[in-house]
Structures are given as structure tokens and as C-alpha cells.
Structure 1
Amino acid sequence: MAGRINDEDIAAVRERARIEDVVGSYVMLRNAGGGSMKGLCPFHDESTPSFNVTPSRGLWYCFGACGEGGDVIAFMQKIENLSFTEAVQKLADRVGIQLRISDDGGPRLPAGLRVRLMDAHKATAEFYAEQLATPDALVARQFLAERGFDRAAAEEFGVGFAPRGGRRLAAHLKARGFDEQELITGGLLRRGGYDFFSGRLLWPIRDAGKSVIGFGARRIFDDDRLPAKYINTPETPLYKKSQVLYGLDLARTEIGRSGQAVIVEGYTDVMAAHLSGVRTAVASCGTAFGNDHARVLQRLVGDQGNGEVVFTFDGDAAGQAAALKVFSLDSAFITQTYVAIEPTGLDPCDLRLQHGDAAVRELIGRRVPLYRFVMTNILSRHDLDRADARVDALREAAPLVASVRDAGKVSGYVRELAGWLGMDPDEVRHEINRVASRSSARKPEPKRAGAASEAASSPASPQRRPAADVLPDPHDRTLLTERETAKLIIQVPQFLGDELAGLSTDDFTHPAYGAVLRHAQKAMADLPAGAGGDPFHDWPRRVAAVEDNPWVNSLVVSLAVEPLLTEKPSAAYVVAYTAKLRLLAVSRQIGKIKSRLQRTNPVEDPATYNKTFSELVVLEAQRKQLQNRSLGL
């Protein structure tokens, strides 16, 4: 999207796109007290939640390894790898704001393509659902009935029918005011104006926010010119198949509540699982389960100690091959990965049809660790009664164990593998270490997930991760007073009054906190005189925008998100705390003066001694005054 977005529209997007709702679409958040929410950071691997969201200020910050932070726009930039403009557009679509764009200083142009595409997909889903009840859809209804799905099930999942003929949807949408080119862009029509889907059973694919973004279609007529059993919406501005999971809109809440996600292979399997009581089932759409899918699920499963991701596969060779491929993604999960195999080879849909809902629930209940399943299949290909075959089995199994990043798991797998092979654990460990060393020497260092994200343009978001030696440690108790004062400067500027002007960068021992003060004083001086409304609206962003400094921006966001030591800050509390900070600074000065006095001989240099002593008297008086103020006296 070319041009510049109207500033008022950007402000409206920030205000209406509630950060807890947007972040909650990607990360399972839990209340952390003090008006904050917590979850696992989506931008680096962690097992303990360090990702904080403060809804009242519209900001998020990770206090863990990555140190990322910003507002709702910066989050969307980072999570979706978007430019600033694209992120604003996506959020505007979400909250129903049509943006005004300035084109090189010319007139503002309306820009609402994504909103139009969303509306077109919603209208299309409704059209397909209505068509399922027509006489032409008899074969589609029979297909569903033969698989145990009645009308209520079809309505719950929004199943529809794309009529034959090739132009019925096009005519319907054009009559509702949609342009042919935008429908082609959205993957609803083909070049030439023909419907993308024709004569097929349809499943609407929704994002986590329950908006329709694409469709999956099943072949049901023998004379269908497209031989593929399933076809999906092509890649569009809305639909990215590597990031989409069918059923996530229905399963998301239950996944977060239970800490379990179940991966099945198709649309009917998702339906069968949900109707059987497995409400955490999802499926990839027209592509293999990949790293992006794994990251989506890991964020939703969260940090629960008993979290599980369960894959269902057929028991045949193809299912075993799929399990091997998924095992390569195991390191993307913090939670335990499992596999559920039905010995008869039935998928969840057929299992429910033949044996009922309980059989599907039992299938998931019989899950086994994915590692054990894959390893058992490798070893089953070797005659372990022969010494040479055991060596061959070890050589084939060693790369599997060596690929596991968790050192604690590797030690357990080594002992288990040695037991299966009847070999000495040290011999097994030696072979695995050899394979691991050879592999690490050959492979480049993997990039951190999300490292390719475009630099955030929002002033509240750092453009790059600040150096570790620049930002202060938030847990350093020697800097507790400095950090709390800095938080007060950012969070409650309305209580500062003359206290802000009375502070000096010399009052802080850490230069980063001094930089925050300098930014805040400049921002305070730039506040428009006599401005109506809340003069401190968007204060953290104003402070960060004083200077284009990534690490100051990052620190400002972290200070805005981190809870204060008091739940009810007041002007009196601010006065007392700033006095406490200045008291520490004066005490340091007194220490230096006393040290200088000890080094000065009053007989040999009385002028210097008397001058220094006078400075000490003044500082002692200041200290007493600051002590009283720090105590609220």
C-alpha cells in the first residue's frame, strides 16, 4: 500500500484494536495481577512466561531473552512479519476502520481492500451454506450423511456446496457490489471470471478471530474436471496455508484451557473429533504440518507442565513416514509430543462412524510419546538378534536421538535405546555424540524464530534488540529505587508536577535511567500549552519519540508495562519516591565529600578544607530534608 496513512486513523486503530484481544489471538494470556497479563513470548523459546501485556497502556514487553516490546501495531508487525503500513491495515480490518491514505501529498484515497475481501469471504461462506440445502447438492448431503454428519453438524462447521456451472458465485457477489478483480485477488474467482470452486463440498477456513479467510473443497462428482480429491484457496492477502489450521477458531479456547492440541489429517476428521468430544482437534490445510503451524500451537498450549501436542496417523508406511517428518519438528515444541495410532488403520472420521464417539476419545487416550513410536519403527526394520544388525540399527537411530535439543531428554533416550539394543550405554552415547558433532559442524547456526521480521516503524518499538550491556537488569536490587522512579516517570506523569524538573540525570547511577529522564523532561516541555483532554495521552510513545534511540525506546516500553510497587500511586507517593532517589544521590555525594576531607590536611590547606566542609554542611542539610520528604513528612 503506497502513501501515508492519516495520523488520526493510526491513533484510532491503536485505540480500538485492544491489545489484549490482538495478542490473545496468538498467545494464551493469563491475569498476572496489577492490571497486567502474562504468557509465553511468541518471539523466542521459553518455558516460563515472561511476556507481559498491560491493557490500560496498550503496551507489551518481554522481560525474557528477546527484550522485545511495543504497542499493538508493533506486535502485529513482529508476529506477522509486516511493514508498519501493512500492520496498521490488518488491524484496521480487524476493528472495521477504513483508512485514509495520502498519496505523495495529493488527496487522501480510501483504502479498504482487506475489509472488502473479508466481507466477500463472509458473503461467500453464507452463499455456499445456503446452496447445501438445494436439490443440486444432493450428492454433497449424501457424502456428509454417509460419514455420520447431519444437518446440525454441517451448520456448526459452516459446511457448504459450490454449485456447478462455474459462474453462480460470481453473479451472486457482483450483484452485491463486489468487483471481479478484487474477487480474483481474494481467490474466490479464477481469471476469466469463473468461480474458483465448482461442484464441490466446501469447508470455510477461519482465522483465530473467526473470520473466513479461505475454503477447502472436496471432489464429490465423478465427472469433476479437476482430478485432485481436495483443493484449497490459493495464496491470497488473507490466506497463507503454512500458517493456517482448520478448526483453530473452534479449538483455540479449549486448547488454552486443557493444554492439549490434537492434530488430525482432514476436515472430516476435525468434525468427527469435535463431535466426539475431542474439542482441541485441528488440521493443516492443503499442506504438510510445518514449523509455522507448530509455533501457532505452542503459543496456544502455553506453559502448562502437562501440555501435549498429539498427532494422529494411519498405521501404514505413509503414516510412519509422516511421523518421522513431524519428529523433525519436535524441537519446536516445549510441551511433550505424542502420536495416536488406530491399529485398524481407521481415521477419526471412519472410527467414529464404525465404533462411535467413545472410540475417538479412546484413540487420543492411547497416545504414546512420538519419540517412542518413531524409534520403535526404526528398530523394527532390523533383526536385533544379530550383532551386525544391532550396529546398523544404532547407526540409523543415532541421528534421531542426536536431533533432540533437550540434553535431559537425550540422556534418557540413550539409556532407553541401549536397553532396546542390548548394548552398553557408553557405546550408544559415543555413537550419538559422533553423529551430533558431525551434524553441528555441517549445519549453519539456525536463526531465531521471527528474526527476519521487518524492523518496527512504531516509535514505541525497538528497531533492533538493544545490547545486553546497555539496558539495566530489571532485577538488580541496587537499582530498585532508580527503576521505580523511572516507572513513575513513564506511568504516572500527571503526579510529577515540579518533581520531574527537580530531578537530574546525575541522580541515577545507570545512564539508561538518566536517558529516560532526559527524554521525559523534553517531552514534558513539548506538551502543547492549554491542550484540552488528557495532556498525557500516549505519554510513553511521546517520551520514546523524543529521539530515535532503539534501546531507550525498549526501556520506556518495559517501564510502562512493568507493575509499580504500589497498586495506588498518588502525588504524595511520587514526591516521597523521588525524594528517596535524590536522598541516595546526596548520600553518594556526602560519601565523596567525606573521603575528600580525609585526604585534605586542614593545617596545610585550610582554604580547601573549609570550602569542602561547607559543602558537606549544605549536603547534610539537604539529606535531612530529603529524609523527611521520603517519609512523607
Structure 2
Amino acid sequence: MVARINDEDIALVRERARIDDIVGAHVQLRNAGGGSLKGLCPFHDEKTPSFQVTPSRGLFYCFGCGEGGDVITFLEKIENLTFTEAVQILADRYGVQLRISDDGQPTTAPGLRQRIMAANQAAAEFYQEQITSPEAVIFRQFVDGRGFDRATAEHFGMGYAPKDGKVLARHLTARGFTHEELVAAGLIREAGWDYFQGRVLWPIRDSGRSVLGFGARRVFDDDRMPAKYLNTPETPVYKKSHVLYGLDLARQAIGKKSQVVVVEGYTDVMACHVSGIDTAVASCGTAFGADHARIVQRLMGNNDVFNGEVVFTFDGDAAGQAAAEKVFKLDQNFVAQTYVAVEPGGLDPCDLRLRSGEPAVRELVGRRIPLYRFVMGRTVAQFDLDRVDGRLQAVRAAAPLLSSVRDASLVRGYLRDLAQLVGMDIEEVRQVVSRTNRRETPLDTVRPGHRNTTREGSVLEGLGMDWPDPRDRNLAVERATLKLMLQFPTLFDTEWNGVIADDFTHPTYRAVYQAILDTPYSTSQWAERVHGANSDPVVQQLEVALLVEPVLLEPDEAYASAHTARLQLLSTMRELTDLRSRLQRINPVEHPVEHKRAFSQLIALETRRRDLEALSRGAQ
């Protein structure tokens, strides 16, 4: 089941969250007149401000790169959050209790999620306070033994759970949390005992730095829990397949560098960050899976397919190699290229740093090889390459791997690698691979997924309809008319002054107008309902741009009427051109009835043209 937030609660979050406050925390905004604010876009480099915020409508838009949306969209993009995460953070900040349900059935009582998050934060602070206690000497020995100092431990929020089985329960109960809330948070068991006892802990945070749960390592030989690592059980806020340790610290670096380094443990994340690999994260208490892959891809954003990279570090033993093969099956979940970094001696990043220092950790990631090449080597090694049939079988077994290579410019090099591995001529390998994959296109054809990022609107290029050029003079009237309809709908009659969808020549402008036609007008949330009438992401983004883009003059009904007349005039002129061309092709002697009908239409269109010219002068 898919959890969803109550629509009324989302609307209340949008209403209470001031977009100028949220944006202002990241962008220096200045008055731009007309109730708008301007600043330098946080989503692309620019020297002249083209980023505009309209607080009255709760919208932002950049006329340089095309990013735009409401306060939730801004937080999603600037913090690399999902929609749900952004709503939850804003709800916590502005005191909105969210109702979350599965298929219409409530999953948690209203306000319980906020109480769990508050309890987790209080627990994290309590655990961190314990690291200086006499009992926590074993904690300090553990941290020192892994080559970290106290400042590093505090940076990662590490803590210590005392052996006293109910000390956390007593502490949080005194803070006002109920037994039911603490059980729901996974902090205590139903019988009242603390979930973590006598363990070193790491808080697991989301990208907004809220504590979702904890990971804990055994440090006492007499620990009654057999597992070396123990994680918070599944709760309304903690799903182990949906979280990554270190995400809160790596999020911004991942977005800037378009790189994610996936390691296997908490101390490996720490070792990587301390060594300068600040894009490192790790799965928590479970193997890296499809949900993690989607999180990683979202963090990297919609960058060019050839720039982003996901680097997996595995142990050099058989288990690590098997893990690499498992991850390879998830490769299609990524737009970015995938790599593997394996330390030949079998050391993980933490142990490698202890033995050889921080440069060795950086070198490990620097020596990464394509994931497909690692798996291809393992695949080829299964065959007897001293035999002709063995070499042929190896190439056939490796052929599907080449179809997963997204950068077509690399395919020839990878074919050469395969040819060298099996000891065959490269052209012979190419033929075998082509026959095996039964490709309909050459191997050097770019695979779907590459996206143009060269002009405004590029953030949505390839996801839906084409983005109209705002500087196109031929489309200026269409754009200006839609701006008036979206921003000042009361200036038009109930039929939108007779405008029809075919008056718009650009398909995306036509789609925006169709959304307007499909939305019954009312004074309440007009723009939001138009925005929801079309699911195409380009159309939705264009609507945001048109809502934020300023109108040159203070509009009135005459101004709006002039624009619709001008739009209809251009449409009429196109009809006249087509009709004149058809008249020239009709022989009046052979087809007198058809010629007379067309000529009558011409006279009617000419009359309409003159009337519209008179009405349209106010739009010039």
C-alpha cells in the first residue's frame, strides 16, 4: 500500500508556509515591484537576478533555468527531498498535524508522527549526553579504536545507550512522552524495557536532519542480543528500505557533485567523510535494494546521463562480489553510470583508513571501475577460454551487459575490453554481441534517457511536451493572453471572450488553455485547480511561469478583450491564408458550387478580420 497525506492537510501546509520565508533562508530576496521579490537563482549560476518569488500566489519561478513551483516544490528541490518529506518538514515547522493513510485508512493517529519525531530527537540528545559518563568508557575505546576523535563522533551524532534497562524510558517519560508513544517510536519495548541497552549508537536521519531511528552496535560480550548490529524496528517514520545512513550530511554534496558513494557500514560512512568523500551513505540493517536506488537517483537529480555516477564499495571476497552482482540487477533504476570500488586486500573503508590513511580511501574511490566491467569479468571467468566454444559462450553470456551501457561513446571501448578478456578479434565479438542481443539499432546509437539541458525549461526536457520559447515573437500574444487568463480570470466573460483551443498554435500553450477550459471558475484556489487539471509536468511548470511572470500594464476588461481579439485575429489570418490558397486551386467553371461556398467563407472571414483588428488595437 502507498501512504498518502490528507489533501486538506497539504492545502493547510501550503496556506501556512510563507514562501518568502522559506526561499529567503536560501536566497537574498529584494523588492522587484508589483508585490514580487527577486534574487539570484539557487538552482543555476547567474550574475543577474532572474529568480522571482510572488508571495501573494505562493509561487517561485526562474526565467533563466525554468525551475518553478510552490513552497513545497522549492523545499523538495533545494533540500533534495521527496514531496512527502517536504510536506512533513513544513508541517512540523508551521504546526500542522498531518493525517497519513493507506488506501483511505489512517496509518497513524493525528499528531503521532510529530510525537515520534520529537521522542527520537530527545532520545538522540540523551544518548549523546551519555558518551562522557564513566560507564561509556567502552564507547570511547570503540571510537578511538576506529581512528576517530570525539569531535568526529559528535559530528555524526554518535551516542551510547546505558546498560540500565529502563533509563531512557524514565528519562523520556519525565519529559512528557507516553508509554504508547515510546513503543510506537521503537524506543522501548511493550514490557517497558529500553530497546537499546549497552550499545554504541548512530542516529539515522532523513535529508531534513530529523531523527527517524537508530543503528546500534554490540560492544559487551555479555550482550543478550545476538545480533552484532541492531536497528530500530519498523515504525510510522522508520522503514529500513527507505532510509540511508549519512543522508543528512551527504545530501548537498551529492546534489552538487552528482555522485553517490554507497558503503556497507556506519563507520565506513564516517571514514569516507573524514577522508574527503563527503557523498558517502550506507543502507541500514538491510541490503541495498530498489527503494534505496530510487532514493539515490532522486538525490542526484535529473542531471545529464553522462555526468552522474553511483559508486559501490564492496569487500573483495566472494560475498562482496556476489553483492556487486545483486546490485547490477538494479542498474536500470539509475540514470547515472554505476561503478564498483573494491579494495584488493578485502578491507572496508574504515579499516583501509586505519591501515593506510585517508589518501588510500580517496584512492579506493578514484580507482573505481564500471559496474558492468566488474560483473563482465566475473561472467567471463566462468568459462574455459582456452577452448573456442568456451570463448564464444563467454561472449554470448556477456552480451546483455553491453546493452546496459548508457553512454554509447563507451560501447566500442567496452567491446574492446571484452575482446581482450576472451582473446577474440573485436569485430568478431561485435557480431556475436549484435546477434545475441538482436538489437534493432547499431551499438553506437545513444540509448533513450539522454536529456537536453541547453535552454530554459531544460529541467523538464524529454519528460512531456515541448517548452515554448518565451522570446518567440510569433507566440507573444498566446503567452500574454494565457498570463491574463491565469492571473486575472475575472476580466473575461464566462466563455473566455470566445477563445477556442485552436487559436493557440503551440501545443503546450494549447494544453494550458485546455486546462483552463476544463476548470470551472471560482474565486477559491483558481490557480491551484488549473494546475491540477493537467498531469503533464511541462504544462504544469509553464503554468507556474505564467502565474509568476509580470504583466506589463495594469489590466482591465478592455485590455483583456484586446488580447483575446488579437489572438483570434492571428487565428483568422491563418484561416484566410489557407482559404485563399484553396480558392486558387478550385476551378470556378468545373466546380462552381464549391468555389462559391469558399468565396462566401472568404468574405465572412474578411469581415471578421476587420472587426477583430479594431478590437485588438488595445493589445499593441
CA distance in 2, matches of 1:426, 1:609: 64
| Cross-structure match for 1:277 | 276
Whether 1:313 and 2:314 are equivalent positions in the alignment is yes
Map of 1:418 onto structure 2: 419
1:583 correspondence with 2:583:
no
Residue 200 of structure 1 deviates from its aligned partner by 0.8
CA contact (8 A) 2:253 2:279 kept: yes
Distance 2:320 2:21 in 1: 38
- The separation in 2 between residues aligned to 1:204 and 1:89, in whole angstroms, is 19
Shift of 1:552: 8.0
1:151 aligns with 2:150: yes
Q: Which amino acid aligns with 2:369?
A: V
CA contact (8 A) 1:37 1:53 kept: no
Indicate the SS of the match to 2:132. coil
Partners of 2:99 and 2:242 in 1: how far apart? 29
Q: Is the 8 A contact 1:13 1:91 kept in 2?
A: yes
AA matched with 1:503: N
Instruction: Report if aligned partners of 2:205, 2:213 keep a CA contact under 8 Å in 1.
Output: yes
Alpha-carbon distance in structure 2 between the residues aligned to 1:129 and 1:144: 13
Secondary structure of the corresponding residue to residue 298 of structure 1: helix
Shift of 1:387: 3.1
- Mapped to 2, the partners of 1:358 and 1:123 lie a distance apart of 37
Report 1:8-47 matches (<5 A): 10-17=10-17
Letter in 2 for 1:316: D
Query: 2:543 is matched with which residue?
Result: 560
Q: Contact conserved, 1:128 with 1:161, CA < 8 A, in 2?
A: yes
The structural deviation recorded for 1:215 is 0.5
Contact preservation (8 Å) 1:597, 1:612: no
Report the CA distance between 1:475 and its aligned residue. 4.3
Structure 2 CA distance for partners of 1:480 and 1:171, relative to 1, 3 Å: same
Supply the AA of the counterpart residue of 1:578.
T
CA contact (8 A) 1:36 1:563 kept: no
Counterpart Cα distance in 2 of 1:295 and 1:418: 34
SS, match of residue 169 in structure 2: helix
Aligned-pair CA distance for 1:473: 5.4
Q: Is the 8 A contact 1:93 1:114 kept in 2?
A: no
Residue identity matched to 1:580: R
**Take 2:548 and 2:5, find their aligned partners in 1: how far apart are those partners?**
41
SS at 1:306 equivalent: coil
Alignment partner of 1:131 is 2:130? yes
Equivalent in the alignment of 2:27: none
Tell me: CA distance 1:53–1:328, structure 2 relative to 1, closer, same or farther (3 Å).
farther
1:484 matched to 2:479? The reply is yes
Count of equivalent residues: 542
2:214 is the alignment partner of 1:227? no
Offset at residue 391 of structure 1 (A)? 3.5
- RMSD over aligned Cα atoms: 4.7
Q: How far apart, in 1, do the equivalents of 2:41 and 2:485 lie?
A: 16
Alpha-carbon distance in 1 for matches of 2:398, 2:99 = 59
The higher-RCO structure (CA 8 Å, 6+ apart) is 1
Q: Which residue number corresponds to residue 504 of structure 1?
A: 498
Q: How does 1:7-406 map to 2 (within 5 A)?
A: 10-17=10-17, 72=72, 92-93=91-92, 95-98=94-97, 111-302=110-301, 303=303, 305-382=306-383, 384-402=385-403, 404=405
Q: Distance in 2 between matches of 1:331 and 1:625?
A: 59
Classify the secondary structure of the residue corresponding to 1:201.
Answer: strand
CA contact (8 A) 2:352 2:361 kept: yes
Q: Deviations over 1:56-110 (max 9, x none)?
A: 655799xxxxxx999849999xx9697xxx9966752464323599xxxxxxx98
Q: Please list the CA deviations of residues 550-587 of structure 1 after superposition, one character each: whole Å capped at 9, or x if unmatched.
A: 54897873442245897654336866643431321343
Deviations 1:261-313 (A, max 9, x none): 21111101111111122111111111111222222222322315432222212
Q: How far is the alpha carbon of 1:435 from its aligned partner? A: 5.1
Residues 298/2 of structure 1: CA separation in 2 closer, same or farther (3 Å cut): closer
Unaligned residue ranges in structure 1 (runs of 5+): 24-32, 40-51, 62-67, 102-108, 439-447, 449-467, 528-536
> SS of the counterpart of 1:130?
helix
Deviation of residue 181 (structure 1)?
A: 1.7
Instruction: Determine if contact 1:481/1:580 at 8 Å carries over to the other structure.
Output: no
2:483 maps to a residue whose letter is L
Query: 2:553 — aligned with what?
Result: 570
Identity percentage over the alignment?
A: 50
Cα pair 2:207 2:248 within 8 Å, conserved: yes
Q: CA deviation at 1:342?
A: 2.0
Structure 1 residues 162 and 111, CA gap change in structure 2 (3 angstroms): same
User: SS in structure 2 opposite 1:571?
Assistant: coil
1:453-511 Cα shifts (integer Å, max 9, x gaps): xxxxxxxxxxxxxxx9xx975549899357514631454217x7358866213374467
Give the match's secondary structure for 2:227.
coil
Matched, 1:539 2:539: no
CA change 1:630–1:317 in 2 (3 A) is same
SS of the equivalent of 2:212 reads: strand
Q: Aligned partners of 1:261 and 1:428: how far apart in 2?
A: 33
3-state SS, counterpart of residue 161 of structure 1: strand
Q: Residues 627 and 595 of structure 1: is their aligned pair in 2 closer, same or farther, counting only changes over 3 Å?
A: farther
Q: Distance in 2 between matches of 1:392 and 1:614?
A: 76
How far off is 1:432 after superposition?
A: 3.9
- Contact 1:586 / 1:622 at 8 angstroms: preserved in 2? no
Deviates further, 172-181 or 566-575: 566-575
Contact 1:36/1:54, CA 8 A, preserved across alignment = no
**Is the 1:114–1:237 contact (alpha carbons within 8 Å) kept by the matching residues of 2?**
yes
Distance 2:384 2:99 in 1: 70
Deviation sequence 1:573-603 (CA, Å, 0-9, x none)? 86664343132134356568879999999x9
Preserved contact between residue 129 and residue 161 of structure 1 (Cα < 8 Å): yes
Query: Does the CA contact (< 8 Å) of 2:499 and 2:564 recur in 1?
Result: no
Deviates more, 1:242-251 or 1:386-395: 386-395
Per-residue CA deviation, residues 343-399 of structure 1 (Å, 9 max, x unaligned), is: 222221112222222222222222222222232334445553443442343344334
The more displaced of 607-616 and 551-560 is: 607-616
For the residue of structure 2 that corresponds to 1:503, the secondary structure is helix
Q: Separation in 2 of the partners of 1:173 and 1:553?
A: 48
One-letter code aligned to 1:571: E
> Taking structure 1 as reference, are residues 373 and 588 closer, same or farther at Cα in structure 2, changes over 3 Å only?
closer
Distance 1:283 1:21 in 2: 33
Q: For 1:40-71, what per-residue CA distance to the aligned partner results, in whole angstroms no more than 9, with x for missing partners?
A: xxxxxxxxxxxx9988655799xxxxxx9998
1:628 pairs with one of 606, 609, 617: 617
- Paired with 2:514 and 2:569, the residues of 1 have a C-alpha distance of 20
What amino acid is aligned across from residue 166 of structure 2 in structure 1?
R
| Residue 214 of structure 1: how far off its partner (Å) | 0.7
TM-score (norm 2): 0.73
In the TM superposition, residue 154 of structure 1 has moved relative to its aligned partner by 1.2
Residue in 2 that maps onto 1:106: none
Change (3 A) 1:583 1:3: closer
Please report how far the alpha carbon of residue 142 of structure 1 lies from its aligned counterpart in structure 2 after TM superposition. Answer: 0.7
Shift of 1:172: 1.2
Q: Report the residue type matching 1:306 in the other structure.
A: N
Contact 1:216 / 1:233 at 8 angstroms: preserved in 2? Answer: yes
Higher mean displacement: 620-629 or 511-520? 511-520
TM-score, length basis structure 1: 0.72
C-alpha distance after superposition, 1:215-254 (max 9, x if no partner): 0010111111112111111121111111211111001111
Q: Is the alpha carbon distance of 1:575 and 1:416 closer, same or farther for their aligned partners in structure 2, counting shifts above 3 Å?
A: farther
